[in-house]
Amino acid sequence: MLRLIRYLLAAAAALYLVVFAVQNRGLVDVVIWPGLVPLTVPVWGLVLAVLVVGVLLAGIVLWLSGMRWRAEATRAQRVLRSQEVRRQINEQREEERAAAAAAERRAKAEAAAKNKPAAPALAPTTGTKPLALPST
């Protein structure tokens, strides 16, 4: 829908420019400073040239005025990237520390298991026999 509106506005502007050019075919002498020789151009050509130059100058001014914001955005992106890199490095270091701590705990547990005495043997019975159940 917006595309259709855009095309209609462009067609209306083109039609307006054609009508303006047809109605303003008179010639005008133009001397552009510091020129000495006057140029003879149609009025519609002069108006169109002035419009194009005005649009270009306005675009340049807007682009230059936005340089500060673009520079600030670029700086912010650099800071964000460096913070992301630092965060990744810190996460990697934290994982390495956790792995080292787990390996150390495992080594201590294995060393403690090796040094732990075997389970005590059952005390020998002194002449007692286990109870025998009568068989039927």
Cα separation, 62 vs 133, in Å, equals 107
Assign 131 a pLDDT band (cuts: 50, 70, 90). low
pLDDT tens sequence across 59-109: 999 999 999 999 999 999 999 999 999 999 999 999 999 999 999 999 988
Task: Identify which has the larger pLDDT, 133 or 51.
Answer: 51
Percent of the chain beyond pLDDT 70? Answer: 85
pLDDT over 70 (residue 128): no
Q: What is the pLDDT of residues 90-99, one digit of tens each?
A: 999 999 999 9
Domain boundaries, the chain: 20-65, 67-113
